[in-house]
Homo-oligomer: A and B are copies of this chain.
């Protein structure tokens, strides 16, 4: 029998996911339309209740699979923060642990999900005035995007946003999409290949495109980038 129950209040604990990927050169987030109250009909981050014997990270992976059809091998997952304002859910006391997931080549939302209506939305649009998200999900999304932007500076996270192997040009496009800013192509090339422990040359090339074939690399997205890339 729980020892604390008489004395302390029970909470509901959920996980919510900020799932980011690049589609058509734009940074996009997966949103689902809520089928029930509260906030019925509004767009929300995918997520759900944590099970009683489940680790928080496992709950995030489970929701990733259930709501988005994405397996754990296709994303990098990191804890973003926990949101627990007393009335963030108008009906109960719900504390949510938000997670940031970065992936590439993620499936069109549909296969075997609860959420009937799920869609990839460019983050600019998801954060525009006209889009009203459920709960405090706008804030969570803002925090997630900012975290992703910051992490590109000093980790190899960008590599999680494109299928491997990739060309330097593709990696360059990821940085420009996420940061929304132009970066000198030539200097980018030198800098990124010179970073110790980040890229691994496969020896292959991408044939068949326009122009000179590009070398293909794989990358370790857990690598620390030193010195960091700067946005400015």
Q: Residues on A close to B: CB < 8 A?
A: 2-5, 7-13, 49-56, 79, 81-86, 91-95, 97, 226-228, 230, 232
Chain B residues, Cβ within 8 Å of A79: 81-82
Give bound CA distance, A186 to B141, whole Å. 43
Asked whether A227 lies within 8 Å of B226 as measured between CB atoms, the reply is no
Chain B residues, Cβ within 8 Å of A230: 227
- Known: A12-B11, A95-B56. Contact between A49 and B4, CB under 8 A? yes
- Known: A12-B11, A13-B13. Contact between A91 and B3, CB under 8 A? yes
Asked whether A9 lies within 8 Å of B228 as measured between CB atoms, the reply is no
Chain B residues, Cβ within 8 Å of A53: 86
Asked whether A11 lies within 8 Å of B11 as measured between CB atoms, the reply is yes
Identical copies in the complex: 2
Asked whether B82 lies within 8 Å of A82 as measured between CB atoms, the reply is yes
Asked whether B8 lies within 8 Å of A49 as measured between CB atoms, the reply is yes
Shortest Cβ gap from A29 to chain B (Å) = 21
Asked whether A11 lies within 8 Å of B13 as measured between CB atoms, the reply is yes
Of all chain B residues, the one with the shortest Cβ separation from A96 is B82
Give bound CA distance, A85 to B97, whole Å. 13
Asked whether B52 lies within 8 Å of A9 as measured between CB atoms, the reply is yes
Chain B residues, Cβ within 8 Å of A93: 52
Chain B residues, Cβ within 8 Å of A94: 4
Shortest Cβ gap from A225 to chain B (Å) = 12
Asked whether B86 lies within 8 Å of A54 as measured between CB atoms, the reply is yes
Of all chain B residues, the one with the shortest Cβ separation from A59 is B84
A-B contact pairs, 30 of them (CB 8 A): A2-B92, A3-B91, A3-B92, A4-B12, A4-B91, A4-B92, A5-B92, A7-B49, A8-B49, A9-B51, A9-B52, A10-B10, A11-B13, A11-B50, A13-B95, A50-B84, A52-B86, A52-B93, A54-B86, A55-B84, A55-B85, A56-B83, A56-B85, A56-B95, A79-B82, A81-B82, A82-B82, A82-B97, A95-B97, A227-B230
